[in-house]
Amino acid sequence: MDLLLASLDILARWDVVVALIIGSVGGVIVGAMPGVGAAVAIAILLPATFSLEPIVGLTALLGIYGSSMFGGAIPAILINTPGTPVNALTTYDGYPMTRRGEARRALSLAYSASFFGGVFSILCLMALAPVLASIAPMFGAREIFLAALLGIVLVILTHRGQILVAAMLVCLGIFLKTVGLEGTAYTQRYTFGQTWLASGIDLIVVVLGLFALSQAFLLLTQRDTTYELPPVRGKFLQGLTELFKYKRLATVGSSFGVLCGMIPGVGEFMSQFLSYSYAQKTSKTPELFGKGNPEGIVASEAANNSVPPAAMIPLLALGIPGEELTAMMLAVFYVHNVIPGPQLFRDQMDFVLALYIALLALNVLVILFLMSSTNILMQVMRIPSRFLGMMILTFSLIGVYSLRNSLTDCAIAAGFGVFGFILKRLELPTSPVILGIVLGGLMETKLRTAMVRVKSPFDFIDRPIAFILFSMIILAIALHIVTHLRNRAKDKSHA
Amino acid sequence: MQPDDPTPHVFPTARRPGELLFAMLFLGLSVLLLAQIGWQTTWLPGKGLAAQPRTWPFVGLAGMVLFGTLHLIATNRVRRTPGRWQEAMLWLRSLEFVAWYLVYVFSVPYLGYLPATLVFCLSLTWRCGYRSRVALFAAAGFGLGVVFFFRTLLSVKIPGGALYDALPAPLDIFFLTYF
């Protein structure tokens, strides 16, 4: 009880409430703009929160992180274009429902399923907090190294059809992290005698380049798309009662989200894929999936919205991000002098609980906002794409320049912007680069610390958690190889 | 995306024009960087592999070369999609907007944040083909809003412009502080 009161005390401030409102409403708006997304918004706003107190800055950015997927469902359902990439499956059943004249019902169900997924995941997170607090201190250097390695392996393996690209981009991230003066023997690595490279390549500069600038370049080089927005009239509360009909689907979908969110490197895509497949397999009308089946919307939205709170588990407990948004959130925590890891759970449990409560409050705020303002919110989809590109480019100056007033940073960010633009044009993933930078740096430090006490290779996995993590890595790779060989054999037998 | 197709397509299934070119450029750069590992990193005698400053750049670059080669082979085996050079030209076209961005960035210390942002928003909006009065007003309003929110309200660190020094005494401090 004392802990809960202490957490509420942290949040009971006008600036935190304002940050929560701005973050949650801003996140929904950003999510509803096709081609922007939470990553761009967090990248831009992160440096702007430097001057704010940690809890204020974190609440605002957490709001954007947790609410963007709510907004992403709106263009997915109304114009068949997902607002954020993870709303892709919502288009399958949402858009056909819109074409049938059931846009309001589809939106209402999507909001309700997202709300259910978010709250379910936060409650799981709260229930798991004492367990995490007891397990987290059992993670030493070698366990964190192995958990980060597991994250990298899973990030690569979950990029189906793009495993080689994901692997080479993760390696690029690992390499980028090593550039500059290294911290133990103080030798230069890949600086080419340039002083501006000695301090290394800042993660935020890379993030801004790869996510914000690249998106601006992409929008500026595109032709404008005009969308015809269907009329959406009536109340949105109906979805909450209709969701009760699909409570099993919503619970299973949210559970997939929690599970996939907790495992580094897996994330929203896998969770909604599993949830959608499950819904299709167990449905009485599987033939209606992809043709406007409400079950498809519930499965997709409950699964994707339950991932962000669950993804905070490895981030807060171990300091290991599972995907690009949590990698950015890790940067947010570091910037605000909050160091995620076992110590955070041991020493600042009230702060951790305050973040969970903030996440819960933001879900309530977002659903209230959406139920009352969907028609106004729809207007953001009318902003022409090149005008949006101009807006992102203008915002990006704030993001990069305010870091350390360096023109070099701006030029580096522009370079990564072009690289990200090429990746996006080729439909290749950008997040492995960021995860390579974050996890690669973590692995280098932890391996160096761990090896001091390791005499033989077996010493590395002689503790229970280290052994479990090592087994999971081997199992993940073995499973992937077996599945790949089985699919090849199947293809050959069909041919 | 095919809304009538019931199979979920979360993962990409096809390659796009220009991917082979990208794979070749990526591999070429990776090999070039790996070749320089001897003089761009240091090997400390008597230290273990985990403590060597050379280890992790090698891990990264060796991985880039290995997976880059495999990716190149895999891309090459897929039937060629036409349009490689058109795609490359589009990559080059993005450099125009890099130039716009860099000119904006470099002009801030001279013009000041407010004038540079207004000029940038208006001229890029014009360049993008939005030349109606509404579009230009929207661009100016957006620029003003950004400066007001970030510089005036949040006091984000942006250097004051040299142009502000030319303003009369009370105004220059005001502009340097808030715009």
Kindly report, residue by residue over A179-189, the tens digit of the pLDDT. 998 878 889 99
Contact B5, A89 (CB under 8 A): no
> Considering B31, B49, B77, which residue would you say is the last residue of a domain?
B77
Q: Which residue has the higher pLDDT, A276 or B61?
A: B61
Q: Which residue has the higher pLDDT, A176 or A305?
A: A176
Q: Where do the DSSP E strands lie in A334-402? A: none
Q: Please state the φ and ψ torsions of residue A189, each to the nearest 5 degrees.
A: -130, 120
Q: Mark yes or no for CB contact B101/A396 under 8 Å.
A: yes
| Cα separation, A470 vs A464, whole angstroms | 10
Of all residues in chain B, the percent with pLDDT exceeding 70 is 91
Same domain, B38 and B100: no
Q: Which residue has the higher pLDDT, A107 or B65?
A: B65
Of all residues in chain A, the percent with pLDDT exceeding 90 is 13
Structure tokens at A115: 């709300």
Q: Which of A80-84, A137-141, A252-256 is the least confident region?
A: A80-84
Radius of gyration of chain A (CA): 22
Residue identified by tokens 């392996």 is A153
For residue A417, pLDDT beyond 50: yes
Interval A137-145 mean pLDDT = 85
A383 close contact with B: CB closer than 8 A:
no
Q: Mark yes or no for CB contact A386/B130 under 8 Å.
A: yes
Highest mean pLDDT out of A135-144, A349-358, B126-135: B126-135
| Cα separation, A407 vs A412, whole angstroms | 9
Q: Mark yes or no for CB contact A51/B50 under 8 Å.
A: no
The per-residue pLDDT for B15 is: 65
For residue A145, pLDDT beyond 80: yes
The per-residue pLDDT for B25 is: 94
Q: What is the pTM of this model?
A: 0.83
The per-residue pLDDT for B1 is: 39
The per-residue pLDDT for A116 is: 92
| Cα separation, A134 vs A486, whole angstroms | 41
Contact A232, A103 (CB under 8 A): yes
Structure tokens at A177: 């992290």
Residue B5: pLDDT band (50, 70, 90) is very low
Domain count, chain B: 2
B11 within some domain? no
Residue B14: pLDDT band (50, 70, 90) is low
Q: Residue A21 is which amino acid?
A: I
Q: Give the residue on A whose Cα is nearest the Cα of B70.
A: A164
Which residue of A160, A171, A214 is the best one to mutate when testing the B interface, meaning the one whose CB has the most B CBs within 10 A?
A: A171
Q: Mark yes or no for CB contact B105/A410 under 8 Å.
A: yes
Interval A354-379 mean pLDDT = 85
Tell me the pLDDT tens digit for each residue of A79-117: 877 777 777 788 888 888 888 888 888 888 998 999 999
Residues of A in contact with B108 (CB under 8 A): 397, 401
| Cα separation, A230 vs A29, whole angstroms | 18
For residue A415, pLDDT beyond 90: yes
Close Cβ partners of A156 (under 8 Å, ≥ 6 residues apart) = A163, A166, A167, A170, A265, A432
Same domain, B103 and B155: yes
Same domain, B110 and B174: yes
Residues of B in contact with A164 (CB under 8 A): 67, 70-71, 74
Same domain, B99 and B73: no
Q: Mark yes or no for CB contact B97/A389 under 8 Å.
A: yes
A410 close contact with B: CB closer than 8 A:
yes
Tell me the pLDDT tens digit for each residue of B100-109: 999 998 898 8
B169 min Cα distance to partner chain A (Å): 26
Q: Please state the φ and ψ torsions of residue A430, each to the nearest 5 degrees.
A: -105, -25
For residue B136, pLDDT beyond 90: yes
- DSSP helix/strand/coil, A245: helix
For residue B4, pLDDT beyond 70: no
Q: Mark yes or no for CB contact A92/B3 under 8 Å.
A: yes
Same domain, B167 and B109: yes
B83 within some domain? no
For residue B8, pLDDT beyond 50: no
Interval A65-74 mean pLDDT = 82
> Considering B77, B108, B126, which residue would you say is the last residue of a domain?
B77
Tell me the pLDDT tens digit for each residue of A31-55: 888 767 777 888 777 777 777 777 8
Interval A410-430 mean pLDDT = 91
Same domain, B133 and B67: no
Structure tokens at A59: 């609440």
Q: Mark yes or no for CB contact B97/A393 under 8 Å.
A: yes
- Segments making up each domain of chain A, as ranges: 2-140+225-404
Close Cβ partners of A343 (under 8 Å, ≥ 6 residues apart) = none
Q: In the predicted model, what is the mean pLDDT of chain A?
A: 84
Report the alpha-carbon angle A434-A392-B18, nearest 5: 60
Q: Give the residue on B whose Cα is nearest the Cα of A213.
A: B98
The per-residue pLDDT for A267 is: 66
| Cα separation, A43 vs A50, whole angstroms | 12
Residues in chain B: 179
Q: Please state the φ and ψ torsions of residue A181, each to the nearest 5 degrees.
A: -80, 120
Structure tokens at B38: 């001897």
Q: Please state the φ and ψ torsions of residue A338, each to the nearest 5 degrees.
A: -110, 115
Residues of B in contact with A421 (CB under 8 A): 91, 94
B168 min Cα distance to partner chain A (Å): 26
A419 min Cα distance to partner chain B (Å): 9
**CA distances, B111 to each of B105, B108, B141 (Å):** 10, 5, 19
Alpha helices in A263-348 (DSSP H): 267-282, 294-305, 307-318, 324-335, 342-347
Highest mean pLDDT out of A151-155, A335-339, A379-383, B32-36: B32-36
Instruction: With CA atoms as reference, report the closest residue to A253 among A292, A318, A217, A306.
Output: A306
Interval A255-277 mean pLDDT = 81
In terms of C-beta density within 10 A (0-12 exposed, 13-18 middle, 19 or more buried), how is residue A2 classed? exposed
For residue B56, pLDDT beyond 60: yes
The per-residue pLDDT for B3 is: 41
B12 within some domain? no
Q: Mark yes or no for CB contact B12/A427 under 8 Å.
A: yes
The per-residue pLDDT for B6 is: 42
Same domain, B137 and B172: yes
The per-residue pLDDT for B2 is: 39
Domain that holds residue B51: 19-77
B132 close contact with A: CB closer than 8 A:
no
The per-residue pLDDT for A61 is: 84
**Stretch 324-363 of chain A: residues touching chain B, C-beta under 8 Å:** none
Q: Give the DSSP letter of residue A458.
A: G
